[in-house]
Amino acid sequence: MIWETPPRSPAKPSRPREPVGGTSHGSVWALRSGRPVRQVSRSSEPSRREPSGAGHAPLPARRLTEPPGSLPTAEAMRAAGLLLAWVLLHPAGTQQCHLASPSGILRFTDRHAEIRVPALHRVPSSLDPLYGLVRRCLDLIQQNPLPTELLRAALNDPGSVQTLQVVQYELGYVICAAVALLFTVAVPVAGMCFCYCRSRRRCGGRLRAHRRSLGCRRHCLLACLSLTSLVILTSVVCAFVTSQRVKGQMEPGLGAVPATLRTLRQHIANVPQGVQMVVDQFEVPRQQIISDLGGLSRSVGLSIHAQLKAMTYAALADLQDRAGDLQTSLHHLQILDKTVRALAAARAELEPALRERRRRVVALLDDPRCTSCASVLGRAQSLELGADYGKVPSVEKVLKALAGVPRSDFAEMIRQVGEVRVKQGRSSTHGQPRPSRSATPLSSQGNGTFNSIPELAVERMAQVIQDLRDEMARVTEKVQSIADAFPLPDYTRPVSEALVKAEDRSQPYLREVERFEQYRWIAGTVLCSIILLILACNVTGMALGAYGLSKREDPSDYECRGEAGAKFLLLGVGLAFLFSWLLILLVFATFLVGGNIQTLVCRNWVNQEIYKFIDTPGNLPPSMNLTRQLNLRRDSNLSATYRECKSGAGLWEVLQLDRSYDLDEHLKTPKYTADFQKRLGDFTARLGDVRLLRSEGRQDLETFARSGMDEVDYGRFQEEMKNPVVQTSLPGLARSLEGLQKMQRNGTVAGRLAAEARALWQMQNSTVQSQEALVAKLGESVQFLSRLAPHLQERVKTTLATTASVEARLPVQAQQILRQEIGCFTRKELRYFAQYLNWVGQTLREDVASCQPLATALDNGRVILCDRIADPWNAFWFSLGCCTFFLIPNIIFAVRLTKHFRPIRNRLISTGSEETCPFHIPRVTALKL
């Protein structure tokens, strides 16, 4: 058996937290040799973190052309800023220890598991309603409580017991015995009288006259006999089932008595070996603690690195986002400036061509020869240019302010970080990742110190690790004292001797019980079979009699099948008279035994009255003093001991010892962990400083914030882009001209219309579409810049302040995390001690040295005797008694029904209150004198 006790938290560092604003799948940050690294997963591309909407240098071609919709909203950026501020302001030392992992669960081997008393329980059955009915009947028969005075006299001085006292207590059973005696005498006497009457042709003969009510009486008798037979059949089936159940439970129940006593003796005899086994299991936590000590120093270093890395990389991620904003904004400003110039030039080029085309189309549509052209003339006259991008504000001032920016090579920085990430990914499974020789322009050499934290922790903690290993050897000697001081082996001998005597003395009684149960089962099976034979006679007699009546034309005619039915009924009556006294004797014998077991033993066992009787001084003779024989505490009794054992007390808590033994005092955790905990608590270490941003990068961001990009009126661009390049749709006008061409009868006009339509299509495809593409490109840049500009200065200021705050807090929080991790490791190792000591206490109380098997054995005895044997036993005599008593109405109905199956003596006789039968000349063969 494997015992598992869950830990509260491990000391090993958890996975590094994700950077603020990032996602657990979109980006994974790492820091090696002082450079931030982001590893982007293609599978998580849609959820990648983009705090400012700007692209990053490694992917300039793709990110610089992303749609403006990729920018986060102002609310999202505000939430990200608040989360970053929480990380910076929340002390690292206040973070909770890492969650418990499966490796923190100690597994102890239980070699004592095979010596146990299995608990038995009442099994729900379909016969439970019958069992409950029988118990209520017995409670009605025996309403007296436990006869303590009578039992005290019977146990201490059997000769002083008076018969009157027994009769008074057993009054209900005496009344039942009188009823059984009356039944035993009356039914055979009635049977002899019936035989005498049959010999004189008086009982079970023929009807003397035919009456109209005979049919109703016959059906009533058939129904009553059928109902009685059905009740008897149900009862005999229940008797068969319960008898078989008693037989099936009796043999294992009797065998469980010596087996339980032997198991209890083995349980007590194996206490010393079990205690030593429990002590030897300290090897499990000792090996686990030694293993944890081997990885403590690197684990603490990596945990400090990982927890500071989250805050550091959040700041670096913010710096990278601002760099991306700078590059992407510069790119979009250049696109905006170039696109506006291109649109203005294209408009100037398109204006004269569009004016000439309008003149030609209007002239053609005004031609009288042009059929149905007036409907299109208005659209042609409104053919003119739309948007004018010469009116939008210029961004040349912003571009001049950003000239020469960025001075830091952001693209090269991200490319180098990506290379470092690949190298680390290949070597991270073999220990500490190798630092790269490349340097990032934004990071100082302080990051090298940050990455050397794990090696520094290993060096500083080497001595304390060795001291803790030596301490574990001394703790092992302290744990051995638990087995050396355990007091039970000298005090369990009386219990073992009492169990041996009980086992030896019970064997003869158990054999006798088994022998009498065999006789009961045989007698019950034979008598139940006779009842089934009586029922078979009833069914056969009723079937033949009813069939004979249906075939008989005249009531006075002789019919062999009806006569056979009457004889079968009389045969059943004879069997009932013959065996009823045997049935009632078996019923009363089993009733007397099972009823007294239920009312005298089981009922008082359930309500604990038996234990109270045993606990009362003077009720038991000195030779049966269980407290002395079992060496129980002198201030205790059987009831208290049973309750203590039931609740899981140990044997040393219920036995009489020379001196008190407090197991909890021996299992206090500080007794074994004080020195271990003190050595870890006294350890301290110091780490270096770290810088994140150089002056060149700071100047680039400050220039970006002062560039004036947020002062440009981007709403003017958006208003102008709402206007089309040409007011009238050229494709629509061209299709209208093509439609008019098909309606013309004049070929010249039709040809001119077709030519003008082609010219409009050419203008649309060559000039207007290119301008629309420039407008779409301009819209992307305007939308990006309009969403970024209002928050630009606030974001840059927040980023610079965050970077400075992180650089100042890193050394302080590193020391806090060191104390936190050592504290978490200490608590984890103390939980290993606590798990083991808790398991020791639990195992000694509930298994190795538990007295619970004694309570379990008593409960099992009640379950076997009362629930598994007494209940079906009582249900057997109850069912058989129902069969027996219902034989009386069965005899009456069968005898009366016999006359109806035989021919009537004289069908012409009728009473004065009934009408005579219709007159007819009878056949000669029908007259039977």
Q: What is the pLDDT of residues 593-621, one digit of tens each?
A: 999 999 999 999 988 888 888 888 888 88
Can you give the length of the chain in residues? 929
Residue entry with tokens 């269980």: 626
Task: Classify 347 in phi/psi space as left (phi over 0), alpha (psi -120 to 50) or beta.
Answer: alpha
The 8-class DSSP code of residue 921 comes to: -
pLDDT at 166 over 60: yes
Q: Which two tokens stand for residue 740?
A: 């008019």
How do residues 279-317 score in pLDDT, each as one tens digit? Answer: 889 999 999 999 988 888 888 888 888 888 878 778 878
pTM above 0.85, yes or no: no
Q: Which residue has the higher pLDDT, 446 or 634?
A: 634
* For helices 296-366 and 769-788, angle between their N-to-C axes, nearest 10 degrees: 140
- CA 765, CA 721: separation in Å to the nearest integer? 20
Q: Residues 874, 594: contact at Cβ < 8 Å?
A: yes
Taken in order 913, 917, 918, 920, the sign of the CA dihedral is negative
- CA 488, CA 56: separation in Å to the nearest integer? 75
The DSSP-derived string for 760-791 is HHHHIIIIIHHHHHHHHHHHHHHHHHHHHGGG
The DSSP-derived string for 531-567 is HHHHHHHHHHHHHHHHHHHHH-SSTTS--HHHHHHHH
Report pLDDT for 114: 60
CA atoms within 13 A on the CB side of 808: 8
- CA 680, CA 98: separation in Å to the nearest integer? 18
Q: Residues 436, 423: contact at Cβ < 8 Å?
A: yes
Report pLDDT for 2: 42
E strand or H helix that includes residue 249: helix 214-269
Q: Residues 1, 110: contact at Cβ < 8 Å?
A: yes
Task: Classify 918 in phi/psi space as left (phi over 0), alpha (psi -120 to 50) or beta.
Answer: beta
Best CA proximity match to 701, nearest among 581, 824, 798, 611: 798
Q: Which residue has the higher pLDDT, 848 or 180?
A: 180
Q: Is the peptide bond before 406 cis (omega within 30 degrees of 0)?
A: yes
Model confidence band, residue 433 (pLDDT cutoffs 50, 70, 90): very low
Model confidence band, residue 875 (pLDDT cutoffs 50, 70, 90): very high
Q: Residues 601, 866: contact at Cβ < 8 Å?
A: yes
Report pLDDT for 557: 53
The 8-class DSSP code of residue 616 comes to: S
For residue 917, the tally of other CB atoms under 10 A from its CB is 15
Report pLDDT for 246: 92
Residue entry with tokens 């000694």: 844
For residue 565, the tally of other CB atoms under 10 A from its CB is 27
Taken in order 209, 215, 221, 222, the sign of the CA dihedral is positive
pLDDT at 904 over 80: no
How do residues 792-819 score in pLDDT, each as one tens digit? Answer: 888 888 888 888 888 788 878 878 888 8
* For helices 214-269 and 852-862, angle between their N-to-C axes, nearest 10 degrees: 160
3-state secondary structure of 845: helix
Report pLDDT for 666: 82
- CA 581, CA 573: separation in Å to the nearest integer? 14
For residue 787, what are the β-bridge partners?
none
Model confidence band, residue 113 (pLDDT cutoffs 50, 70, 90): low
How do residues 560-579 score in pLDDT, each as one tens digit? Answer: 777 788 888 889 888 999 89
E strand or H helix that includes residue 32: strand 27-32
Distances (CA, A) of 528 to 182, 534, 606, 880, 885: 22, 10, 33, 8, 14
Q: Which residue has the higher pLDDT, 414 or 881?
A: 881
3-state secondary structure of 11: coil
Q: Residues 257, 492: contact at Cβ < 8 Å?
A: no
- CA 233, CA 225: separation in Å to the nearest integer? 12
Model confidence band, residue 494 (pLDDT cutoffs 50, 70, 90): confident
Q: Tell me the pairing of strands 27-32 and 35-40.
A: antiparallel
Distances (CA, A) of 642 to 434, 638, 664: 67, 6, 21
CA 289 to chain centre: 32
Model confidence band, residue 553 (pLDDT cutoffs 50, 70, 90): low
Average pLDDT, the chain: 75
Q: Residues 650, 663: contact at Cβ < 8 Å?
A: yes
Beta-carbon contacts of residue 782 (< 8 Å; ≥ 6 apart): 336, 714, 717, 718, 721
How do residues 376-416 score in pLDDT, each as one tens digit? Answer: 877 777 777 777 777 778 777 877 877 777 776 654 443 33
* For helices 374-381 and 296-366, angle between their N-to-C axes, nearest 10 degrees: 130
- CA 94, CA 360: separation in Å to the nearest integer? 82
- CA 3, CA 284: separation in Å to the nearest integer? 12
Model confidence band, residue 432 (pLDDT cutoffs 50, 70, 90): very low
pLDDT at 8 over 60: no
3-state secondary structure of 726: strand
How do residues 623-672 score in pLDDT, each as one tens digit? Answer: 777 777 777 777 778 888 888 888 878 877 887 765 667 788 888 888 88
H-helix segments, 90-160 = 128-141, 148-156
How do residues 228-281 score in pLDDT, each as one tens digit? Answer: 999 999 999 999 999 999 999 888 888 888 888 888 888 888 888 888 888 889
- CA 655, CA 641: separation in Å to the nearest integer? 9
Q: Which two tokens stand for residue 541?
A: 């007699």
For residue 37, what are the β-bridge partners?
30
